A = this chain, B = another copy of it.
C-alpha cells in the first residue's frame, strides 16, 4: 500500500462513530459525524498556495485531497461542528510509503501544520504531527474497503504522556440514488 492507493481508497462519504477518552479523568465523549473526502487536482491553485505557505516545492505534491466534516457531540447537542481542510502528501524521497503531510488546518490546533507520515507493511497509515505544546499521533487502517479504523492520540510535547485517545469507526455511506 502506498499513499496514492490509500488516498484513493478513502475517497467518498463516511459516517464516523467516534469515542474520545480523556485519560486522566476516565471521561468519555461521543461524536457521530459525516466525513467527505474528495480528490483535488495537483494543479489546483489551492495546492500551490498551501505548498508556498509551507515553503515546499509543489512539484512534490502527490494525491492532494479535501476533507470536510459535519458532526454532533454528545457534550452539546445543539452545537454542530463542521469544517473542511485541504491535505497534501509530499514525497520528498520518491518513496510513496512515507513523506510529509501538509494541512491547511490541523485537528488539534486550527493552524496549518506539517506532519510526517508512513505506511506500514500491514497497510496502516501512521501520521505524527508536532505542535508547539503537543504532538498528535494518528493511525488509520482499512478493515474492509468500506470500514476504516482510526486511533488518534494527543501527546504532551515531549511525547511521554498521552492526554486524549480517540477511536473512530468510519463506515462508507452507500450511494443515495
Contact = CB atoms under 8 A, between A and B. Distances in A.
A134 interface: no
A32 interface: yes
Interface string A113-148: 000000011101010000000000100000110010
17 contacts: A15-B26, A17-B26, A19-B19, A19-B21, A19-B167, A23-B147, A26-B32, A120-B121, A122-B124, A122-B126, A144-B162, A149-B151, A149-B153, A149-B165, A151-B151, A151-B167, A165-B169
A28 interface: yes
What is the oligomeric copy number? 2
Interface of A: 15, 17, 19, 21, 23, 26, 28, 30, 32, 120-122, 124, 126, 137, 143-144, 147, 149, 151, 153, 160-162, 165, 167, 169, 171
A78 to B, nearest CB: 19
B165 A144 contact: no
A58 to B, nearest CB: 31
Contacts of A137: 143
A169 B30 CA distance: 15
Contacts of A124: 122, 124
A147 B122 CA distance: 22
- In order of increasing CB-CB distance, the 5 nearest A-B pairs are A167-B167, A19-B19, A165-B169, A21-B169, A17-B21
